[in-house]
Amino acid sequence: MRLCPHCPYYRLIRESRTVALVLWVSATLLLGQRHLAAQQPAKSPEKPDKSKAEQPLELPEFVITGTETLDVPGGAKQAPKPSPKLTPQQLTRFNPLDKQTFSLLSPSTMTRALLPQQERNGYVQGEFGMFLSPSIDAGYRIIAGNFDLNAHAGATLSDGHRRNAGFTDVRADLQSQYLAPEKFFFFGGSRTDTYLRANYRNFRFFGADSVMFPELAPLRQSLLMEAGVQTVGGFESLRYDMGVSAESILLQGAHENTLLDAHLAMTTALGAGWHLGGKAAVQLLSASWFAALVSPSLVAEYRVSGVSVRAMAGLQTFSYSPFILPNASIHADVAVNSLLSFKVSAFTGARQNSFLQAFRRNPYTATIFLSSKLPPFPLENVIYDVNAALHLHPSQHVTLSLGGNANFTLNKLVFDAAEKNGEFVPSFERVRGFGAWLEAEAQISSADNITLRGNVNVASISLNSAISEIIVPLSYLAPFEASLQYRRRWFEPFLTVLEGVYVGERPVALFSRTASNLPAYLDIRFSSEYEFSPNISAYVRGTNLLNQQIVIWQGFQERGIFIAAGFVITF
């Protein structure tokens, strides 16, 4: 019987035949594949299929926010915190008054509350002050993909507050941060920080005005260059930290000193918060000579909630010494609760002394000894250097920190009295030191803020003579220093800052009974700032308002009262 194409049963029978045909073909292919697999030898489970092994591993992309340390298996990393665009250190201008400030004081002479905020990408800051001292700084930030670039440059000129005291300072700073995407098998999620800095200074040794011919005061042209790169990351239970940095100084256009640091540290998780690994570090020092300090160490870490301890122990060898020295260090951070935390660190071992370090402390450091064919800087041997700090947070408006230090060092770099031409020749002595410091900050109201800092230091140099041990105070170290700052925002666009800095009397000669000490001084500073708009502000600042006699280094009396005005534009 033949059905009509328009009959409803005709369509049903036709679709049933199609379904049956598809099922028959599928069954035939499945049986054939099983028969072929049975005839072939089984593959080793240790050798995956080549076609699958060549395929790239696709991992899910995700973003982690916050600052907690996360242990995520499978190669996932913790995204690092973004670096701020601007810091006071990046904007610190060359200022003769600040050639030696004690560690608790800000390196800047004025607290700039209106510096560009995080949402601003660029800034321009200009200033003009007494003694014909113009200054200009500018910077810009670019975020391109996983790169975060920060560039800063500036220049300061000054006619000087006395004969031969004028100077020129030109600086540039380029920093970048790169977060590697997860597609990189080993380095995925790692952070790489790179920096490049250059600083040119031109100044005279105006402390030599006491000699017969002050017009012959030495002129120093210095170019200090720094560069470095560091990568920190992890893969599954392995964590790594590797980097290299170099700094070099040229005086009068001639190379004087280069210091190269390189390190590689790796640790692996053992469970229960423990990590174990090793670190290899090397320091290369070159000028007219070459010296190397190699330091391999074992590393142990313990990290749980609120507790972080890192300890290293190893050996050190110096290219100019046949001896192998031990070295060890420990750093511990403990947060008892939200109100109390403390830090402890200790170190014993050897450190390099170099002209670069001396120049950073004292720009009038002598260079006559650099022509030697052997390193004139002996290796600094730290017998012990212990630091402890306690941080209290009784409320969100009050912070209190207490700390102390004890150290004993052989061949520590110190400075004696000035030479007739204004230079300072470094000396290397056996030094014992003790210190204590206090920092407190209180927000007494929504508009008023008070910060107090104090520092007490006692250090002495011991010299073994034929008769007995001679002990003298450490030169250029003030036994007491303190600062008090009061900040008030009178209304939203207007802010004032009043600050006083006291530095006690300091000895200048190591083994002289006739040399007079440097006088103590009180530096009163004031600044006020006004916001014309979110992008434009202006300020006025003054330092040494009491016109005190400030002497940082013997023979170099710093400027008296100084007043300057400036502006900040952000975009």
pLDDT digits (tens, 9 = 90+) for 376-416: 788 899 999 999 999 999 888 999 999 999 999 999 999 98
- Rounded Cα distance between 305 and 333, Å, is 11
Element (H, E) at 25: helix 8-39
Q: pLDDT category, 239, cuts 50, 70, 90?
A: very high
- The answer to whether 565 and 535 are in contact (CB under 8 A) is no
pLDDT digits (tens, 9 = 90+) for 100-127: 333 333 333 333 333 333 456 899 999 9
**Beta carbons within 10 angstroms of residue 418's beta carbon:** 23
pLDDT at 418: 87
* Structure letter (DSSP) for residue 508: -
Locus of tokens 């060898």: 317
Q: pLDDT category, 189, cuts 50, 70, 90?
A: confident
Helices (H), 382-483: none
pLDDT at 269: 93
pLDDT digits (tens, 9 = 90+) for 416-427: 888 888 889 888
* Structure letter (DSSP) for residue 8: H
Whether residue 74 has pLDDT greater than 80: no
pLDDT at 211: 57
Mean pLDDT score across all residues of the chain: 81
In order of 341, 503, 556, the CA distances from 548 in angstroms are: 39, 12, 14
Q: What percent of the chain has pLDDT over 90?
A: 55
* Structure letter (DSSP) for residue 510: S
- Rounded Cα distance between 476 and 460, Å, is 11
pLDDT at 266: 95
Copy the structure tokens of residue 521.
Answer: 């001084």
Compute the average pLDDT of residues 502-507: 94
**Beta carbons within 10 angstroms of residue 79's beta carbon:** 15
**Which is nearest to 558 in space by CA: 358, 364, 355?**
364
- Rounded Cα distance between 424 and 552, Å, is 13
**Which is nearest to 545 in space by CA: 532, 531, 564?**
564
pLDDT digits (tens, 9 = 90+) for 243-280: 999 999 999 888 888 999 999 999 999 989 999 999 99
| 3-state DSSP assignment of residue 289 | coil
**Beta carbons within 10 angstroms of residue 412's beta carbon:** 23
Strands (E), 159-215: 167-179, 191-204
pLDDT at 51: 42
Locus of tokens 């403390």: 342
Compute the average pLDDT of residues 441-456: 95
Backbone angles phi, psi at 350, to 5 degrees: -110, 150
Backbone angles phi, psi at 6, to 5 degrees: -90, 0
**Beta carbons within 10 angstroms of residue 303's beta carbon:** 16
Q: Are strands 536-543 and 521-533 parallel, antiparallel or unpaired?
A: antiparallel
Q: 88-106+122-570 maps to which CATH number?
A: 2.40.170.20
pLDDT digits (tens, 9 = 90+) for 307-329: 999 999 999 999 888 888 899 99
In order of 290, 307, 434, 438, 482, the CA distances from 478 in angstroms are: 35, 35, 12, 16, 10
Secondary structure of 340-367 in HEC code, one letter for each residue = EEEEEEEEEEEECCCHHHHHHHCCCECC
Residue 286, strand partner residues: 258, 290
In order of 224, 454, 487, the CA distances from 440 in angstroms are: 35, 9, 14
User: What dihedral do alpha carbons 508, 510, 514, 520 form, nearest 10°?
Assistant: 30
User: Within 13 Å, how many C-alpha atoms sit on residue 46's CB side?
Assistant: 0
**Beta carbons within 10 angstroms of residue 463's beta carbon:** 13
Estimate the share of the chain in helix, then strand, then coil, as percent rounded to the nearest 5.
10, 55, 35
Compute the average pLDDT of residues 441-465: 90
487-492 own/partner pairs: CB under 8 Å, 24+ apart: 487/111, 487/113, 487/448, 487/449, 487/450, 487/451, 488/447, 488/448, 488/449, 489/447, 490/447, 492/531
For the chain, give the number of residues. Answer: 571
Residue 311: is it exposed, middle or buried by C-beta count within 10 angstroms (0-12/13-18/19+)? middle
- Rounded Cα distance between 257 and 356, Å, is 7
- The answer to whether 218 and 422 are in contact (CB under 8 A) is yes
Type of residue numbered 470? I
Element (H, E) at 400: strand 398-415
pLDDT at 196: 97
Residue 509: is it exposed, middle or buried by C-beta count within 10 angstroms (0-12/13-18/19+)? middle
pLDDT at 64: 38
In order of 169, 350, 565, the CA distances from 486 in angstroms are: 30, 42, 20
Backbone angles phi, psi at 31, to 5 degrees: -65, -35
pLDDT digits (tens, 9 = 90+) for 3-42: 455 555 555 556 566 555 556 555 555 555 555 445 555 4
Copy the structure tokens of residue 354.
Answer: 């170099």
- Rounded Cα distance between 186 and 75, Å, is 8
Type of residue numbered 451? T
